[in-house]
């Protein structure tokens, strides 16, 4: 039985680095609901600049950032378009309906990605029977797609088509930083096709809490009011924003290491009998492991018993997410654990 548990459930489990903790302890703060927290203001400005948008808003979570965007782009009774496995639909507790009275029309496509034709065939025109389609949501990298990256040209084409059809475009860029590293492109290039973009500081970048929503100044003004309504107006939030600044300034480039570790895990598991892994589909920091004869939930439990955490993401699939707090040696131990479980009879 190994000592320390290796946690590959998500990159959300990363803890703030020593530099972040120092920055948090020393942060200059004020009351952010009055707009008087200098560290939050700086984070919002730096994030907006990095993403090529006029304004930014610090929010407690990616979910809140996405849902504020939905509220800003729609009215009650409207419809938004999103991939059937998108986070905004699949993992946000029905919030578009709950908070905005917005229905979601689902699109299909390869690992979270689609083309203008999928958008075109989902649009139904202005007939009184139909809700008004007002928003398209895209996700890059795509979580349930296994960390898949949108090809920039395809993203531009989809966004241009949607805008031509009168839809706004929101980019769930929780892991846009990973896409930027994988493509070796500035984050602003990847965010350019979207009206609004949400990016997380609390995943691969290791900040303890927080995301930013960036977009046009007037929209971010309205977003600030929705953030207040949802209870996300925080006071001396500069202690959190200080960690976010360290994240933005120092933690992006190292994501390449997480990507290399994900490839390492995928390649090591590819020829383990009983497992199904396609190393060719690993584009960033996620690996989807098919568990063959095992129900994934039971496989996950068996891994846990030998000190490795990885969640079932589907009936017969486990998701492995690499991150800062699981260096190569931990990935090697995780591979050994997967091998050990796969060698047992399925149960």
Give the interface with ligand TLP as residue ranges (CB under 6 A).
10, 12, 61-63, 66, 87, 91, 139, 143, 172, 174, 200, 202, 211
Q: Which residues contact 22 (CB under 8 A, 6 or more apart)?
A: none
To ligand TLP, the closest distance from the beta carbon of 139 in angstroms equals 5
Encoded tokens for 211: 């995301």
CB closer to ligand TLP, 211 vs 291: 211
Query: What sign results for the dihedral spanned by CA atoms 165, 80, 209, 33?
Result: positive
- Pick between residue 39 and residue 141 the one whose CB is nearest to ligand TLP: 141
Q: How far is the CB of 71 from ligand TLP (least distance, A)?
A: 15
Residue nearest to ligand TLP (CB): 62
Nearer to ligand TLP, 124 or 304 (CB): 304
Compare residues 53 and 144 and give the one whose CB is closer to ligand TLP: 144
H/E element, 338: helix 328-342
Q: Is the peptide bond before 141 cis (omega within 30 degrees of 0)?
A: yes
CB environment 100-111: b (16+ within 10 A), e (fewer): bebebbebebeb
Smallest separation (angstroms) from ligand TLP to the CB of 337: 20
Nearest distance in Å: CB 13, ligand TLP: 8
Least distance to ligand TLP, CB of residue 174, Å: 3
Q: Residue 219, by phi and psi: left (phi above 0), alpha (psi -120 to 50) or beta? A: alpha
Cβ distance 174 to 201 under 8 Å?
no
Question: What pairs with residue 55 in β-bridges?
Answer: 215
User: Looking at beta carbons only, is 83 or 224 nearer to ligand TLP?
Assistant: 83
**Residue with smaller CB distance to ligand TLP, 193 or 274:** 193
253 vs 177, 204, 288, 345, CA distance in Å?
9, 11, 24, 41
DSSP element (H, E) containing 248? helix 238-250
Cα separation of 77 and 314, whole Å? 31
Burial class (CB in 10 A: 0-12, 13-18, 19+), 243: buried
Least distance (Å) from ligand TLP to the CB of residue 10?
3
Is the Cβ of residue 12 or residue 41 nearer to ligand TLP in the bound state? 12
Q: Please state, in angstroms and rounded to a whole number, the distance separating the CA atoms of residues 10 and 27.
A: 28
C-beta of 63 vs 322, nearer to ligand TLP: 63
Cross-sheet strand order for the sheet of 317-321: 286-290, 317-321, 311-314
The least distance separating ligand TLP from the CB of residue 202, rounded to whole angstroms, comes to: 6
Instruction: Closer to ligand TLP by CB, 202 or 291: give it.
Output: 202
SS3 per-residue string spanning 43-79: HHHHHHHHHCCCEEEEECCHHHHHHHHHHHHCCCCCE
Say how far residue 156 (Cα) sits from the centre of its chain: 19
CB of 313 to ligand TLP, least distance (A): 9
Shortest gap between Cβ of 154 and ligand TLP (angstroms)?
18
């Amino acid at each position: 039985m190994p000592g320390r548990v290796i946690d590959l459930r998500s990159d959300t489990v990363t803890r703030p680095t020593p530099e972040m903790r120092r920055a948090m302890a020393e942060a200059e703060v004020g009351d952010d609901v009055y707009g008087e927290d200098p560290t939050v203001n700086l984070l919002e400005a730096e994030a907006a600049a990095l993403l090529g948008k006029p304004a930014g808003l610090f929010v407690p979570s990616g979910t809140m950032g996405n849902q504020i965007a939905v509220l800003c782009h729609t009215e009650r009774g409207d419809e938004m378009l999103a991939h059937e496995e998108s986070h905004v639909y699949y993992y946000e507790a029905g919030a578009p309906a709950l908070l905005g009275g917005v229905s979601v029309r689902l699109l299909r496509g390869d690992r979270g990605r689609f083309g203008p034709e999928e958008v075109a065939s989902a649009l139904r025109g202005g007939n009184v029977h139909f809700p008004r389609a007002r928003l398209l949501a895209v996700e890059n990298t795509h979580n349930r797609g296994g960390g898949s990256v949108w090809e920039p040209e395809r993203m531009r084409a989809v966004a241009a088509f949607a805008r031509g059809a009168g839809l706004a475009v929101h980019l769930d860029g929780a892991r846009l930083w990973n896409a930027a590293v994988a493509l070796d492109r500035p984050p602003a290039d990847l965010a350019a096709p979207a009206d609004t973009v949400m990016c997380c500081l609390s995943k691969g970048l290791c900040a303890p809490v927080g995301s930013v929503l960036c977009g046009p100044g007037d929209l971010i003004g309205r977003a600030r009011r929705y953030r207040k309504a949802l209870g996300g107006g925080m006071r001396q939030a500069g202690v959190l924003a200080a960690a976010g600044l360290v994240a933005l300034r120092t933690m992006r480039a190292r994501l390449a290491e997480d990507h290399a570790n994900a490839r390492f895990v995928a390649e090591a598991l590819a020829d383990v009998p009983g497992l199904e892994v396609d190393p060719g589909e690993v584009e960033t920091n996620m690996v989807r492991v098919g568990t063959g004869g095992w129900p994934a939930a039971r496989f996950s439990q068996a891994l846990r018993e030998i000190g490795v955490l990885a969640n079932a993401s589907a009936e017969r699939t486990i998701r492995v997410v690499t991150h800062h707090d699981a260096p190569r040696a931990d990935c090697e131990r995780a591979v050994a654990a997967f091998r050990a479980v796969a060698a047992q009879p399925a149960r």
